[in-house]
Amino acid sequence: MLQVKELRKRFGDREAVSDISFTVNKGECFGLLGPNGAGKSTTISMISGLLSSDHGDVEIDGLSVKKNLMAVKKKMGVVPQEIALYPTLSAKENLYFWGRMYGLRGAMLKKRVDEVLEIVGLTDRAKERIDQYSGGMKRRINIGAALLHQPAYLIMDEPTVGIDPQSRNHILETVKELNKQGMTVIYTSHYMEEVEFLCERIAIMDHGKMIALGRKEELYQYLVGGTSIRVVTAGIHENWLAKLKEMANVQNIVVQEDTVILSTSNKQELIHQVIATAMDEKIEIQTLDIQELNLEAVFLHLTGRSLRD
C-alpha cells in the first residue's frame, strides 16, 4: 500500500502542491489527472523522493520516503516526464547502464534487460542508437528502465505526451497488462481518456489542490444530471441566458464567453428547448454537442474550465 499524507511544496510564493493526500492499494492502477501546472509532477517527485516536501510524508508498505529512501527506492520504478537516456548509446546499452545503477549484475542483468525489451516491444530494435529512435520508442525504453529492478510500484509521469499514436497505444496496453499481472501503478496524465481507460480510482488535481477523489462512478455523480450539453454561439444575450436558467431541466449552467454548458438528466427535451429559445431570441448556434458522463465533464463541472485549457 502506498499512502500519500498531506504533501505540501512551495516554490517561492507559489504553493505548487497543497495538502495532497491519497492511498493507493496493492494491485491498483491509480490515476492522477489534472491540467498542465496542476502540481502532478511536483507530487510525483515527492513520492519518489526526488524532491523533498515542505510538509507531510509518503509511506510505501509502511516505510517512510523521508526516513527510508533507499529501501523505498527498491520498491518503486519511476518513469519521469523528462526522458533520461544517453543518445549515443544503443537502447540495450542504456538499459544495461540503468540496470547497473539499480545494482543488477551478470546473468541477472542480461536476463532482465532481455525481459524488459520484450515487455516494451523493442527487442528487434535494441541495438540501434537512441538518437535514431522516435520519441515514442524512447519513452518505451524509459519505461523499460524503470522496470529493470522488478519494482512492486510503477509511477509514471505523463508517459504519452508528444508521441505518435502507435507508441501511445502500445504504452497504454503495456500498462494495462503490467497492472493485470499484479503491478501497482500510479498513472499521471492530463488526458482524461487515458486515465478513464486505465484507472478505477482517480484523483483530480487543479492549482495544487485535490478537487476530487474516488472511483470513476463516484466522480460521475458530481454531474447530477448525467449529461452535459455544450452550446457554442455567435454571441449570447442576457435574455436567452435568463430563459435557460429558468428551465426545469437544467441542473447546472456554466458560461464561458460565447459558450454555454448545461447539465441535465433529460437531454432530448433540453436540446429542443435550447434550440426553440435560441430561435426566439435570435441567437445563432454554431455547434451543439452532447457529452455523456466522462471525466472531462466532471472537471468542467468542478472548475468551469475544460481540462485542456
CB of 32 to ligand ADP, least distance (A): 9
Q: How far is the CB of 40 from Mg ion (least distance, A)?
A: 5
Closer residue to ligand ADP (CB): 38 or 283? 38
Binder of ligand ADP out of 6, 11, 27, 166 (CB under 6 A):
11
228 sits near ligand ADP (criterion: CB under 6 A) = no
| Shortest spacing between CB 41 and ligand ADP, in angstroms | 3
Number of amino acids touching ligand ADP (CB under 6 A): 11
Q: Does 15 bind ligand ADP (CB under 6 A)?
A: no
38 binds ligand ADP (CB under 6 A): yes
Identify the residue whose cell numbers are 499481472: 181
The residue range among 20-28, 36-44, 162-170, 233-241 that interacts with ligand ADP, by the rule CB under 6 A, is 36-44
Cβ atoms 3, 59 nearer than 8 A: yes
C-alpha dihedral sign at 88, 89, 95, 96: negative
Which residues in this chain contact Mg ion in the complex, by CB under 5 A? 40-41, 81
Helix, strand, coil percent content, the chain, rounded in steps of 5 = 40, 30, 30
CA neighbor of 20 nearest in space, from 138, 194, 188: 188
Q: Is 274 in the site for ligand ADP (CB under 6 A)?
A: no
Whose CA is closest to 154, among 127, 122, 130, 177?
177
Where are the extended beta strands (E) located within the chain?
A: 2-11, 14-24, 29-33, 55-60, 63-64, 76-79, 153-157, 184-189, 201-206, 209-215, 227-233, 250-256, 259-264, 285-292
Antiparallel, parallel or unpaired: β 184-189 and 153-157: parallel
Question: Would you say 33 and 295 are in contact if contact means Cβ atoms under 8 Å apart?
Answer: yes
Cell representation of residue 89: 548509446
Which residue stretch of 33-41, 69-77, 135-143, 290-298 sits at the interface with ligand ADP (rule: CB under 6 A)? Answer: 33-41
Tell me which residues in 178-207 interact with ligand ADP (CB under 6 A): none
Q: Give min distance, CB of 268 to Mg ion, in A.
A: 40
Q: Which three cell numbers stand for residue 94?
A: 542504456
Site string for ligand ADP, 40-79 (x = CB under 6 A): xxx-------------------------------------
Nearest C-alpha neighbor of 298 from the set 198, 196, 209: 196
Of 31, 34, 80, 144, the residue at the interface with ligand ADP (CB under 6 A) is 34
170 binds, among Mg ion, ligand ADP, none (CB under 5 to 8 A by kind): none
Determine, following the binding rule CB under 6 A, whether residue 159 of this chain makes contact with ligand ADP. Answer: no
**Mapping DSSP to helix (H, G, I), strand (E, B) and coil, where does residue 143 land?**
helix
**Would you call 106 helix, strand, or coil by DSSP?**
helix
Interface residue list for ligand ADP (CB under 6 A): 11, 14, 16, 34, 36-42
